[in-house]
Amino acid sequence: MSTPTQRHTKSRKKIRRGAIKLNRVKLAVCPHCKKPLKPHTACSNCGRYKERIILKVRVPKKFRKKKSKEDKK
């Protein structure tokens, strides 16, 4: 690999680097729970992808619904 024979000016360097930029992440909406998520990925909230359950989502204890005595019978 050879070294550059001429120096690039500051403006030429900035014009070249101006094209390299971050793009905004485009989000889709989960059809089941209506939460935003990346397209073509399973929902981290409900664990579904294309209306099928793909992931088992673990709910922390403080958010779990309490079972009543009638449900146990």
pLDDT at res. 28: 94
Domain residue extents for the chain: 24-58
Residue 21 DSSP code: -
pLDDT at res. 70: 66
CA angle 51, 55, 58 (to 5 degrees): 120
Q: pLDDT tens track of the chain, all 73 residues?
A: 678 888 889 999 999 999 888 888 899 999 999 999 999 999 998 999 998 999 888 888 888 787 776 666 5
Structure tokens at 20: 């390299």
- Answering whether pTM is above 0.85, one says no
36 phi and psi angles, rounded to 5 deg:
-75, 145
Q: In a 3-state reduction of DSSP, which class is residue 33?
A: coil
pLDDT at res. 73: 59
